[in-house]
Amino acid sequence: MSSNQTDVVFFDENGLRTDQRKPDEIRPMSIKIGVLSRANGSCYLEWGANKVLAAVYGPREAHPRRMQLPNKAVIRYRYNMQSFSVEDRARPGPNRRSSEISKVSREAFEPVLFAEDYPKAAIDIFVEVLQADAGTRTAAINAASLALVDAGIPMRGLVSACAAGKVGGKIVLDLNKPEDNYGEADLPIAMTEDGRITLIQMDGHLTPSEFEEAMALVQNGCRQVLEIQKAALLEKFASVMNDDEDDI
Ligand code: ADP
């Protein structure tokens, strides 16, 4: 995020962005649920040029045992970026950024999971970023949400995530890599189906009125993501139901 790149052109003469999107448009998203047979639930998600894979295990007995909580499940979330996911090789292993993203993403799910129903258990969420193009934490949350459903883990509802930001002085939805690199602000959020915000972060600067505009836009972005997530679930489980009917 840099505000010194005044020579960068973000909009064409029609007000469209470098990837031909309107300011309030999200990148195309495609989803495949249930792609890993070893995990209890999984999801592969592409969002623009981001590619992420989420795997969920549990609820299962928490190991090591000292991690067990007597009155609820421990929820663990690991966000990891593969070294080949970015242009310059990313250093493998956890770092400050991935630890922070893992922590805030876990917290984004805590309100929708019934952890208190599973004492001493663990719910493990792993997300691997295979290709990064800005917005990987939000892509990871959207995939993790569907992997949790695929694992059959009871939830109060889906969690949907999206970012808004400011580029070339304008508030836009779902920043791509050049917008993230040279824009003025990035505001990722995660939201429950009933509109509760479970993650909010901000990089850069917005005035109070710009912040309000970005918040309205990004909540709308989350609602768009929710519709895509629901459609993916319907596609997956409608086909499962059809298979079951064939077996009768
Ligand atoms: P997010 O991916 O959630 O937007 P950041 O704002 O921290 O998270 O990162 C923006 C983008 O910068 C990433 O999607 C990725 O394309 C790139 N990036 C992040 N970390 C690295 C890294 N260690 N090496 C190279 N590129 C990186």
Domain of 46?
Answer: 29-243
* 197 φ, ψ (degrees, to nearest 5): -85, 120
The pLDDT value recorded for residue 149 is 98
158 within a domain of the structure (yes/no): yes
Residue nearest to atom 5 of ligand 1 (CA): 134
167 within a domain of the structure (yes/no): yes
What H or E segment, with its residue span, contains residue 47? Answer: strand 41-47
18 within a domain of the structure (yes/no): no
Q: Give the ipTM of the model, two decimals please.
A: 0.98
The pLDDT value recorded for residue 146 is 98
CATH number, domain of 33, equals 3.30.230.70
Q: Cα(45) to centroid of ligand 1, in Å?
A: 17
Residue nearest to atom 11 of ligand 1 (CA): 134
Q: Cα(134) to centroid of ligand 1, in Å?
A: 6
93 within a domain of the structure (yes/no): yes
6 within a domain of the structure (yes/no): no
* Ligand 1 atom nearest 101 alpha carbon: 3
Question: Distance (Å, rounded) from C-alpha 120 to C-alpha 117?
Answer: 10
Ligand 1 pocket test, candidate residues 136, 173, 200, most atoms within 8 A of CB = 136
| Nearest residue to 158 via CA among 112, 122, 197 | 112
Pocket of ligand 1 (CB under 6 A): 86, 88, 90, 97, 132-137, 177, 180, 186
212 within a domain of the structure (yes/no): yes
- pLDDT, one tens digit per residue, over 24-59 is 999 999 999 999 999 999 999 999 999 999 999 999
- pLDDT, one tens digit per residue, over 1-29 is 654 555 789 999 999 999 999 999 999 99
Ligand 1 pocket test, candidate residues 26, 47, 81, 199, most atoms within 8 A of CB = 81
248 within a domain of the structure (yes/no): no
The pLDDT value recorded for residue 240 is 72
Q: How many structural domains comprise the chain?
A: 1
Q: Which residue has the tokens 């999206």?
A: 162
3 within a domain of the structure (yes/no): no
